[in-house]
Amino acid sequence: MDAIEIQLNEAMEGKLRSTGSVTLTAGQATTVVADRRVGIDSVIVFSPMTANAAGETMYVSATGAGTFTITHQNAASTDRTFNYIIIGTSVG
């Protein structure tokens, strides 16, 4: 099996390669994430991985080709870490 066949088989089994991890920038109100899989119409879904992340209020304020911006509380906490999944990934 070649690499494309493996990826197609994994996708059919629900194993998508469209996940990542981000830690919000401390002392700032926005965090920009570069991820080549993101497109302008992508939806980003988050899962908090730390206690400080679980209490965070945030939203995706912009998406573009290969990037998205998270607007969040301006806090000094350095451990606001989330896993994310991209739905509607960019092609190419």
Domain ranges (residues) in the chain: 19-87
- State the residue for tokens 């080549």: 36
Q: Which residue has the higher pLDDT, 10 or 65?
A: 65
pLDDT of res. 22? 97
Nearest-angstrom CA–CA distance, 71 and 28: 9
* Closest by Cα among 42, 55, 52 to 80: 52
Q: pLDDT band for 11, please (50, 70, 90 cuts).
A: low
pTM value is: 0.81
